[in-house]
Structure 1
Amino acid sequence: MRIVFATDLSDASEAAVRSRTCLDCLDNIGVTEVHLVTVVPDNVTSGLPGMDAASDARTALQAQREVFESAGFDVETHVARGTPHRRIDGFADRLDADMVVVGSRGESPLENRFVGSTTRNVARTATRPLLVERIAPPEADQAVVKEHLFEHVLVPTDFSENARDAFEYLPTLRGAAQAVGLLHVRNRDTESTDARSQLEDLAREVERELDIDAGINVREGDPVEEIIAEEVRVGATTTLLGTRGQSRLRRLLLGSVSESVVARGNNNVLLVPPAAARQR
């Protein structure tokens, strides 16, 4: 399994890598090849205050490369100049990556220049699954917000085709997932389907195919708020969501739920684009 690991070369990103929680979880799902990518924006020039890493990004990448290599991964490093999300997407497609990984600073992605607009734009344009890993605030005792990335996976579903794409990605996490929670947020005004029965069918499928426990829950209210509340209730470590839309339309059709969970939540989030958009 091949991944693109996008890094802004910050102390926070390096701390998350060195925590080993990320490395162990990636190894557990079968990752063997890591492509470390950093992008220097076109408007950044050497010599600007705070941009020492950008002036010698390849050297700065070496420390993170050594961490991955010492854990047994095959590693390549890539330094590019341009628009970050476009270059990250380009590397992922050219390398035929199975996943893109980016870091996010806790509850406030906008506090981090890389995770702010870059992660939102990658989420809107990527044709590969995107893992947003939450990095803990500087004052925290640990480097990442949730250890053991895929230990407990929450899968919200509205029973759409896009949600099914996300659900069908679950077997990829087989080596690390120990529990799955299935959630449907009911719209009391328009919904009449038997959500609990459909969730029970999905739970049986998880238990049959993955041989792990699957719980179900139906909530009612604002989808984003209820997803975040369910993350806390079950102790989920990653929330698995489908996205919708392709190419230019992705910017409009990502879906406010997926984007808002990334922006407002405090959990790791794995976004799976439509099957038709992924180049397998």
Structure 2
Amino acid sequence: MKAVYATDLSAASQAAIETETCLHCLGRIGVEEFHLVTVVPANVHSGMPGIDFEKRRKRALRRYRDVIEGEGFAVETHVVRGTPHRRINGIAETVGADLTLVGSRGKSPLENRLIGSTTRNLARTTVTPLLVTRIERGVDEPAVVRRHTFQRMLYATDFSTNAAHAFEAFSYLKNATQEATLVHVETPKDPEPSAEDDPRDRLEELADRLEGWEIDTRIDVRQGDPAEEILASEAEHDPSTILLGTRGHSRLRRLLLGSVSEDVVARATGNVMLVPPSQTV
């Protein structure tokens, strides 16, 4: 597997890259090659007096590369100019990446409503599964909030095609996952389920698949607002990462990510992994 790691070279990004446990987790799910990407925004001019942004970023990326290569991964670096999320997605498509990673500081009152623009735009437009790694905020030397990235997964499903596609990520996550919580939220708008369409039974079928991979699994059927209940389930079960499927990438979706996904990415305590719809026809 190939992974694109998008970094702004901040202390938070450095913390994620230098946490060996996180790298080991990625190795366990099959990542063998990293593409480190940093984007110089289009409005930053290389000719600004006394500053060579591209050279500084290349030097910083070399330090990151040395750390990752030291853990046995192949690494390529990319310093590019433009709109960050577009360039990151473009490189992911060009290299045939299987996963994109980005670090995000923990939630603040502002981030409850508005997450960082690059993370938000990647969440809306990603062409690969996107792992948002949560980093501590408000400290001088930030660290990742959940060191064992895939050890305890919380998978939220509305039983849609997109959610089913996200569940298939367990085919490689299973090598690093020990526990899973399967969550479905019933809302007042949902039709009354038939006897053969009971959500608990459907979750039990998914749980049987995970148990076959020796993943200890529990189910959690809740009622209420989906985002609120997924976050409540996170608080109760303390997963390392929440796994969600996302919807398509129409113009409207680029302007407004589904409220469930955006709320969870912005407000979750731990990591969030978003899986876009399959691109195969």
Common fold, TM-score beyond 0.5?
yes
User: What secondary structure, in the 3-state scheme, does the structure 2 residue paired with 1:274 have?
Assistant: coil
Alpha-carbon distance, 1:253 to partner: 6.3
In the aligned structure 2, how far is the partner of 1:125 from the partner of 1:190? 28
The one-letter code of the counterpart of 1:164 is A
Of 195-204 and 85-94, deviating more is 195-204
* Aligned positions, number: 274
The one-letter code of the counterpart of 2:199 is A
Is the alpha carbon distance of 1:39 and 1:47 closer, same or farther for their aligned partners in structure 2, counting shifts above 3 Å?
Answer: same
Of 212, 220, 223, the residue aligned with 1:217 is: 220
In the aligned structure 2, how far is the partner of 1:199 from the partner of 1:168? 14
Q: Please say if 1:196 is aligned against 2:185.
A: no
Alpha-carbon distance, 1:21 to partner: 2.3
* CA deviations over 1:30-74 (Å, ceiling 9, x no partner): 111000000000111347699775552111111111110111100
User: What secondary structure, in the 3-state scheme, does the structure 1 residue paired with 2:116 have?
Assistant: helix
1:245–1:253: 8 Å Cα contact kept in structure 2?
A: no
In the aligned structure 1, how far is the partner of 2:43 from the partner of 2:34? 28
Q: Which residue of 1 aligns with 2:123?
A: 123
Alpha-carbon distance, 1:236 to partner: 0.4
Of 197-206 and 53-62, deviating more is 53-62
Is the alpha carbon distance of 1:204 and 1:141 closer, same or farther for their aligned partners in structure 2, counting shifts above 3 Å?
Answer: farther
Q: How large is the Cα RMSD of the aligned pairs?
A: 2.3
Unpaired runs of at least 5, structure 2: none
In the aligned structure 2, how far is the partner of 1:50 from the partner of 1:181? 52
The one-letter code of the counterpart of 1:203 is A
Q: Which residue of 2 aligns with 1:171?
A: 171
* CA deviations over 1:227-260 (Å, ceiling 9, x no partner): 1111121110000000011353431564110111
2:11–2:142: 8 Å Cα contact kept in structure 1?
A: no
Is the alpha carbon distance of 1:7 and 1:93 closer, same or farther for their aligned partners in structure 2, counting shifts above 3 Å?
Answer: same
1:165–1:242: 8 Å Cα contact kept in structure 2?
A: yes
Q: Give me the identity figure in percent.
A: 56
Q: Which residue of 1 aligns with 2:19?
A: 19
In the aligned structure 2, how far is the partner of 1:27 from the partner of 1:94? 22
Alpha-carbon distance, 1:15 to partner: 1.8
Given the two structures, how large is their TM-score scaled by the length of structure 1?
0.91
The one-letter code of the counterpart of 1:39 is V
Of 224, 230, 235, the residue aligned with 1:232 is: 235
Of 265, 268, 271, the residue aligned with 1:265 is: 268
The one-letter code of the counterpart of 1:199 is L
In the aligned structure 1, how far is the partner of 2:71 from the partner of 2:18? 10
Q: Which residue of 1 aligns with 2:259?
A: 256
User: What secondary structure, in the 3-state scheme, does the structure 2 residue paired with 1:122 have?
Assistant: helix
Q: Please say if 1:38 is aligned against 2:38.
A: yes
In the aligned structure 2, how far is the partner of 1:90 from the partner of 1:147? 29
In the aligned structure 1, how far is the partner of 2:65 from the partner of 2:99? 18
Is the alpha carbon distance of 1:75 and 1:204 closer, same or farther for their aligned partners in structure 2, counting shifts above 3 Å?
Answer: same
User: What secondary structure, in the 3-state scheme, does the structure 2 residue paired with 1:261 have?
Assistant: helix
Q: Please say if 1:205 is aligned against 2:209.
A: yes
In the aligned structure 2, how far is the partner of 1:219 from the partner of 1:259? 20
The one-letter code of the counterpart of 2:93 is D
Q: Which residue of 1 aligns with 2:143?
A: 143
Unpaired runs of at least 5, structure 1: none
Is the alpha carbon distance of 1:98 and 1:12 closer, same or farther for their aligned partners in structure 2, counting shifts above 3 Å?
Answer: same
In the aligned structure 1, how far is the partner of 2:192 from the partner of 2:49? 58
Is the alpha carbon distance of 1:9 and 1:52 closer, same or farther for their aligned partners in structure 2, counting shifts above 3 Å?
Answer: farther
Given the two structures, how large is their TM-score scaled by the length of structure 2?
0.90
User: What secondary structure, in the 3-state scheme, does the structure 1 residue paired with 2:104 have?
Assistant: strand
In the aligned structure 2, how far is the partner of 1:142 from the partner of 1:244? 32
